[in-house]
Structure 1
């Protein structure tokens, strides 16, 4: 009996012309990925020297000095030129600049062009995720993100890397998912080394990206203070639970947090001082004053900027995030590092899973005197 042939897989159309707004390390890496994937890419930089080095020497001397970039990648310093004819856009700027840059993009972008906000964080005061911030400035454009365990240098060098591409799915997207914005974006960025996965859970993906930076600072603090792998494993696992609870409270799915943009990114960021968040935590745990971290250079650390925003949002929706709260207390000087983590470890004993509903006082006696020895408890 002749087997019935499988139906042909539907084709997915990539975006041929893409713009990347922001020529920092991650923006440059994403632009390089898109160029290697065969896209016509315009990378926008405010820095004329950065743009000139990319165009003439094919290197971003400021942010990725040892990474050769595709010769087909073009950098521009004019926003209108970057967005002219773009079929899809990736915005890759610090979280504090998303609103202003989105407003600038809105002046030049063509109607209906999809925009991926490749920035992780939560806006202070408003409690908005980065795509929600951009939506207020951009209006009616499909908005999503590209997120995952992705160090920029490794990605740009072509080391095997995977990431989630997340956009909300409309009813037509459900009927023809290969034509969805998420699928087309994923196709547009796929290379032999950069593997994409498609998600319709934008909230879950964004929460994973925002919260993991704060948890990474916690892991760094404990590493710098001299604690070992048990401690870091506990912080990663319980930190992921905090991510799940917040994502679910905001309409995301717990399952998403166990994927690349959650567990994957959390594991990477909490495991290497290549992460600025982990590195900051290590330096603070070693007793280095904040002003002296990174040799006194003004390095932007997204987890530091977003710790207060994360716990503010959590409180608004009635979610407890004790690890994030501990990090914020230490960063703002409201708590001494060792005592703060001692208090974290001696919180009431709870159930895992939460559905058991068990909670009772920890039998460990906690007093108000600072910890002076090398033990956490």
Structure 2
């Protein structure tokens, strides 16, 4: 059994800590808010972020960052806090320890993937990414879940050995770029499916947004160095499905509220937790512009969130775009064979 530290006492950090503590690891959950940690120690429950899930007796709770001196350190903080968390952790994380990032996003300004951010802040450590369709509410209750860990194969296999349990199946994938981008960009599409739901649209619309959204995710992902097959896996279509269809998803819930006409500031306050897709939409749009990648759904999401675009006008612009082949590569191949 390993010594594991989970940094971040939100819903996902708590769920992972509960699961890995039950698996027999020496587990410490590190939070920043002493009042919250004290309440969790007394009630053995994270009533704010993961109500109804009992914390195992062996799970240690603290705000002391010295507990980051562990064999495996899992970062479960929002994407915009990853760099600061890595910098704060640097004096305490042991050189050679494996770092696992679970946040799904991209850094604003630099456009860096979060594994790149952590590699900059913790240069003496191997970095892996845990992604896939995994609601904290279900993992914390031991519901069967399948995820993927991405890194070099040796590091990924080491993480797989440590975090896999009978109800938490872990696959490995060496495509770190594809796994990270799939996990980050699906939040943009989940916002859009939520908006469509809030506008009163039906299943046809949802299916169209998810399918064409996946095409956009893969298009940008491949342009940035990801493997196309990764987007057909757990970090791609798997995470996209669960985030676009479940009301556990903060991004979908936020989108529904936007579609119902609520202003963004009110929506974010009502959700009460970080809605990663809002920040990621901006970065994804900027990347698409920089690389000349067509991402029409992402573009309309950017205009809605950042320019106050009318929701129904955004739908019209998507539906009335010029005619296209569904699969440009297939069309091009077919055309070449007829010549």
Kept in 2: contact 1:54–1:74 (CA 8 A): no
* 1:32-52: CA deviation from partner (whole Å, max 9, x where unpaired): 121122211111101123322
Three-state SS of the structure 1 residue aligned to 2:45 is coil
Distance 1:37 1:246 in 2: 38
Kept in 2: contact 1:55–1:73 (CA 8 A): no
Distance 2:145 2:96 in 1: 29
* 1:54-107: CA deviation from partner (whole Å, max 9, x where unpaired): 333321122112111222111111101x213x1111101111111111001111
Distance 2:292 2:116 in 1: 20
Unpaired runs of 5+ in structure 2? 334-339
Could you say which structure has the larger radius of gyration?
1
Moved more, 214-223 or 36-45: 36-45
Kept in 1: contact 2:268–2:275 (CA 8 A): no
Distance 1:103 1:294 in 2: 27
Residue of structure 2 equivalent to 1:186: 160
User: How many corresponding residue pairs?
Assistant: 332
Three-state SS of the structure 1 residue aligned to 2:53 is coil
Q: What's the offset of the Cα at 1:206?
A: 0.3
More helix by share: 2
Q: What's the offset of the Cα at 1:331?
A: 0.9
Moved more, 95-104 or 314-323: 314-323
CA RMSD of superposed structures (Å)? 1.6
Residue of structure 2 equivalent to 1:116: 100
Kept in 2: contact 1:50–1:61 (CA 8 A): no
Q: TM-score, length-normalised on structure 1?
A: 0.85
Does the alignment pair 1:324 with 2:324? Answer: no
Q: What's the offset of the Cα at 1:315?
A: 2.2
Distance 2:286 2:269 in 1: 30
Distance 2:252 2:184 in 1: 14
Q: What's the offset of the Cα at 1:138?
A: 1.1
Moved more, 297-306 or 88-97: 297-306
Residue of structure 2 equivalent to 1:69: 55
Of 15, 25, 39 in structure 2, the residue corresponding to residue 29 of structure 1 is 15
Distance 2:298 2:263 in 1: 20
Does the alignment pair 1:95 with 2:84? Answer: no
Q: What's the offset of the Cα at 1:357?
A: 4.5
Distance 1:199 1:297 in 2: 32
Moved more, 64-73 or 222-231: 64-73
Structure 1 pair 146–49 and aligned structure 2 pair: CA distance change class (3 A): same
